Amino acid sequence: MHANERERRIIDAMQPTGFVSYRALESMLSASPATIRRDLTRLEEQGVIVRVHGGAKRVGEDDAGGSVSNGPTLLGTPFDQSITENLAAKQAIGRAAASLCRAGEGIMVDGGTTTLQMCPHLDGLGLQVLTNSLHIVNALLPQPTTRILVPSGALFREQNIILAPAGEESMPRFHAPKLFMGAASVGPQGVMQADVVLVAAERRLIDRAEQLILMVDSSKFHNRSGTIVCGLDEVDILITDAGIPDAAARQVEAAGVELVVAT
């Protein structure tokens, strides 16, 4: 089992109570204690978990297993801050992405400040939209012909998104021709997010889609750090703005990705 998959399972195992024991991890992962310790060390260094006696707990859980904040939190820039960054570029990307939608089809839209910019341009298409973002839900609610599906799971307040725990029953049984997704950064290693929990959720969406359409403004090519969601070769279309560095554009096209520069 790959390290990213083990990390996803560790995070998923913490969803019900915020804690998982070493014994449970050894049984669940079929991995050696040394391997599990290395996995937990990486997650702790990323600020996702804290190792405690007998196991590990999510950051933000008190010693009694209860949350010490107003809800689960994610690494990365809060939504209210990032929504104003590179707004003109994100709006152009949103228009370009919406133009790829066909009337009456089902799509998936991952939460994010760039994917949010699609919403005004979806009105009247009669789409069925699966999204984990309450911001996107609110933007789509005034559209009478847009049907909205949301997963069950925990609400992460800073990003206003719902992230489902592992298990098919937590998500609607939905398959779509297109998944529209953002990212924290993009580089030769692939598409990256700042939080392992986001990676696990987005992998579940990718597995349900025929086509992955990545929506990122050009600033995302300058920061090449994070946890890998997928390789560039898993992306079908990448929509960005004219500020994309030439070297990054060549890497995207060399990976066989259709590059769309929104204006």
pLDDT at 250: 95
Q: Within the chain, which residue ranges are assigned CATH 1.10.10.10?
A: 3-58
Over residues 117-126, the mean pLDDT reads: 97
Q: With bands split at pLDDT 50, 70 and 90, how would you rate the model's confidence at 19?
A: confident
Per-residue pLDDT at 128 exceeds 50? yes
Do the strands 185-187 and 190-193 form a parallel or antiparallel pair, or are they unpaired?
Answer: antiparallel
Which residue, 118, 121, 123, 106, is CA-closest to 205?
106
Over residues 57-63, the mean pLDDT reads: 62
Per-residue pLDDT at 255 exceeds 90? yes
**Do the beta carbons of residue 20 and residue 55 sit within 8 Å?**
yes
- Helix, strand, coil share (%) of the chain residues, nearest 5: 35, 25, 40
Cα separation, 197 vs 164, whole angstroms: 10
Most confident of 26-30, 67-71, 158-162: 26-30
Region 3-58: CATH code: 1.10.10.10
Structure tokens, 47: 């600020």
Over residues 58-65, the mean pLDDT reads: 55
pLDDT digits (tens, 9 = 90+) for 215-231: 999 999 987 677 889 99
CATH class of 79-262: alpha beta
CA angle 220, 225, 230 (to 5 degrees): 80
pLDDT at 60: 60
pLDDT at 114: 95
**Do the beta carbons of residue 176 and residue 212 sit within 8 Å?**
no
Cα separation, 241 vs 187, whole angstroms: 16
Q: Within the chain, which residue ranges are assigned CATH 3.40.50.1360?
A: 79-262
Q: Compare 73 and 173 and report the one with higher pLDDT.
A: 173
